[in-house]
Structure 1
Amino acid sequence: MEFRKRTLERLGDLICGNLGADVPQGDAEPPYFPYRSSRYITDFFGELDMDWEHDGSTRHRWVAGVLAQLLAESHDGPAHPPESFCRVIDHLMDPADALNEGRDRTNALRQLNDALLREGFEAFYAEDKHCYLRHIGTSTVSTLVQNPHRPLSQGFGVVA
């Protein structure tokens, strides 16, 4: 599965916390994602049991490269993103990381969907407070399944 370069870089901006103004003026918005320096980008992926270590290059472009590699992993067709990519999205949208808004993360979700819609996907929260991806053309939703490597946490699978 491939996403456009600008989509991947926009997702990289969200993960890095590059968007928003600390002191918004006019139409500017505050940040809705926490700023992540090089170390915290590495930690972000490490919390998902991924061994990516930021190399000091431009942060959002480096993250975009990681996301491209995750999207290249095996998956069940164009309506089903790879499990690792879905876990990254769920982790990015953790309600506990809400910044300048409530735990429903309405603004963060809007920014995420601004990027994902170009690729035919949308993100949404379910009642369990996890963030899922829906393929717009088929309404296929990624769902949580038990991850054997982390018995107290959950990974992703897909339901058509």
Structure 2
Amino acid sequence: MTWKPRNLRELGRMIVGDAEHFHYRSSKYITEFFEDCDLEFVHQGETRPAWAAERVEEVLAMPKASATTMPDAFVRIIRRLLDRGEVVNDDAERSLALAALNITLAREGWEAFYDDHGTAQIKHIATNTVAQMANPHRPFTPSEMERRDQLVAYLGRCSEDELIEDILLPLFRQLGFHRITAAGHKDKALEYGKDVWMKYTLPTLHVLYFGIQAKKGKLDSSGVST
């Protein structure tokens, strides 16, 4: 998706706060803005609005499902830009910021609005299609493709102990499990035991205990890896 340079420049000025009704951001806070949008862009002293416009152009080039949708990252930028928790002067409802942004978006056939929950959304004007996020079937971004390839390569060469320590334990911690203990395979007597023990606390404060055995490779009918 290619936008006119004028519109990219205007959006860049809004992001860095060089446009009226938008919060001013210095270098550090420009980086934090993009971090809030799950983007790994780091501002290092370049001309602020021009740099932001270039990053928006990169985001617009990311994969998307169709011509009437937007990349998820762009939707996050719009939501962050119109965050009602970031009041500027007397624009408590961010209506002035919304109107200013829509002047720019309309030239490209889009319109931003607040839904019933006060969350900023963006829709394609011609089709009235609201850009949706978190589509599990969306195309991978280049960085996601790279991380996937790195994971596949690692899984192909790691040992079972490395699989447990480097992949499974961090995964279970992220999912909210506690007291995660890995037995490992140094003691062969444990080879057919449980490799990982852990517990999970329910909202009712009941505790569930889990034990898993990790195997790397194909399993035969007896449960032995080959």
Same fold (TM over 0.5): yes
Q: Which deviations, in whole Å up to 9, do the C-alpha atoms of 1:52-100 show, x marking residues without a partner?
A: 0012111111011111111101102221111111111101100001212
Q: 1:115 aligns with which of 92, 104, 118?
A: 104
- Higher gyration radius (CA): 2
Partner of 2:45: 56
Tell me, yes or no, if the aligned pair for 2:69 and 2:124 is still in contact at 8 Å.
yes
Displacement of 1:48 in angstroms is 2.2
**1:31-42 alignment runs, 5 A limit:** 32-42=21-31
Does the residue aligned with 1:143 lie in a helix, a strand or coil? coil
Does the residue aligned with 2:88 lie in a helix, a strand or coil? coil
> What is the alpha-carbon distance in structure 1 between the residues aligned to residue 59 and residue 24 of structure 2?
22
> What is the alpha-carbon distance in structure 2 between the residues aligned to residue 138 and residue 97 of structure 1?
31
Displacement of 1:143 in angstroms is 3.4
The CA RMSD over aligned residues, in Å, is: 1.8
Q: 1:126 aligns with which of 111, 115, 138?
A: 115
> What is the alpha-carbon distance in structure 2 between the residues aligned to residue 108 and residue 100 of structure 1?
11
Displacement of 1:3 in angstroms is 1.0
- Normalising by the residue count of structure 1, what TM-score does the alignment of the two structures yield? 0.80
Tell me, yes or no, if the aligned pair for 1:101 and 1:107 is still in contact at 8 Å.
no
Amino acid aligned to 2:48? R
Partner of 1:74: 63
> What is the alpha-carbon distance in structure 2 between the residues aligned to residue 144 and residue 57 of structure 1?
30
Q: Which deviations, in whole Å up to 9, do the C-alpha atoms of 1:89-122 show, x marking residues without a partner?
A: 1011000012123432110001100110000000
Tell me, yes or no, if the aligned pair for 2:16 and 2:26 is still in contact at 8 Å.
yes
Does the residue aligned with 1:2 lie in a helix, a strand or coil? coil
Partner of 1:135: 124
Gaps of at least 5 residues in structure 1 are 21-31, 152-160
Gaps of at least 5 residues in structure 2 are 137-174, 176-226
Partner of 2:83: 94
- Normalising by the residue count of structure 2, what TM-score does the alignment of the two structures yield? 0.57
Higher relative contact order (CA 8 A, sep 6+): 1
